[in-house]
Chain A
């Protein structure tokens, strides 16, 4: 089962994809906490793609059972791309007093998801994320 969404750059379009994460995550048997973590990470990926991608964003969602059951989320944009190694890694210690409190997207994605891979080149960036299915406590 795969869900593919093409999101326009309009306010709150990311919530459409969040709803899809919720539906597919539950179908895969994910606990609500895992679903919510995946939703927040996906929202951050979509916001980054909309801000820097310069056009519609494609979101692909599917379940995968190759090594461990998981939810796979891919967020694709067609902007100028970036070097993931040079992307900012924010630290909570420098938050207060800073004039700019933005730039948390990739940090949150990496912390909230189990695996993250970023492929980026001019014209195509894909943030691929996996969240393992864990049974409810």
Chain B
């Protein structure tokens, strides 16, 4: 499958808001790649992270469990986690596994930026 290898890009969405764009299979390796990007952005002072999953169609529970660990780290730092561009199946999987009870889901990157700009500098 072409999406076997995950592709990660990270950037600043707004002041204090890190963006991680992840496209591909979120398994243990994909989840870890996202976690590594999250750690780098947190080290740069980002307390709010947005994970954009546009281009991700398939995930597994091992990968999602790593996303839960990112959420825990952010919550320990009084930070926030958000997602955007989720497929209905990924959104349902996150709901089943408890991720969306503590993270915010936005329809797309623009909506995430509009909601989070100005709220991230803690």
Interface residues, chain A, CB within 8 Å of chain B? 11-12, 14-16, 18-19, 33, 36-37, 39-40, 43-44, 47, 90-93, 95-97, 101-102, 104-105, 107-108, 111-112
CB-CB < 8 A to B104: which residues of A?
none
A18 and B1 within 8 A (CB): yes
A104→B89 contact, CB < 8 A:
no
Q: Contact at A107–B58, with CB atoms within 8 Å?
A: no
Q: Is the CB of A111 within 8 A of B98?
A: no
B87 & A96 in contact (Cβ 8 Å cutoff): no
**B25 within 8 Å of A (CB atoms):** yes
Are the C-beta atoms of B71 and A15 separated by less than 8 Å? Answer: no
Chain A residues within an 8 Å CB radius of B75: 96
How far apart sit A101 and B25, CA to CA, in the bound complex (Å)? 19
- Pair A36/B96 contact, Cβ less than 8 Å: no
- Can you report 12 A-B residue pairs in the complex whose CB atoms are below 8 A from each other? A18-B1, A36-B88, A39-B89, A93-B98, A96-B68, A96-B75, A96-B102, A102-B61, A104-B96, A105-B61, A108-B93, A111-B92
Question: Bound complex: CA of A91 vs CA of B93, how far in Å?
Answer: 12
The A interface, classified by DSSP as helix, strand, loop or mixed, is helix
A40-B60 contact in complex given A33-B88, A101-B68, A112-B93, C-beta closer than 8 Å: yes
- Nearest A residue to B72 via CB reads A96
Which chain A residues lie closer than 8 Å to B57 at the CB level?
36, 39
- Chain B neighbourhood of A105, CB < 8 A: 61
Interface presence of B64 (CB below 8 A): yes
On chain A, the residues within 8 Å of B101 by CB distance are: 92
Q: Which B residues are CB-close (under 8 A) to A14?
A: 60
**Interface membership of B97, Cβ < 8 A:** yes
Q: How far apart sit A108 and B61, CA to CA, in the bound complex (Å)?
A: 8
B14 CB-CB contact with A under 8 Å: no
Q: Is B27 an interface residue (CB 8 A)?
A: yes
Q: Identify A101's interface contact among B59, B65, B90, CB under 8 A.
A: B65
Shortest CB–CB separation between residue A127 and chain B, in angstroms? 15
Residues of chain B with a CB closer than 8 A to A43's CB? 58, 60
A104 and B58: CB pair below 8 A? no
The complex places the Cα of A58 from the Cα of B68 at a distance, in Å, of: 31
A104 touches B61 (CB 8 A): yes
Flag B7-47 by CB within 8 Å of A: 1 or 0 each.
Answer: 00000000000000000010101000000000000000000
Please, which residues of chain A bring their CB within 8 A of the CB of B99? Answer: 95
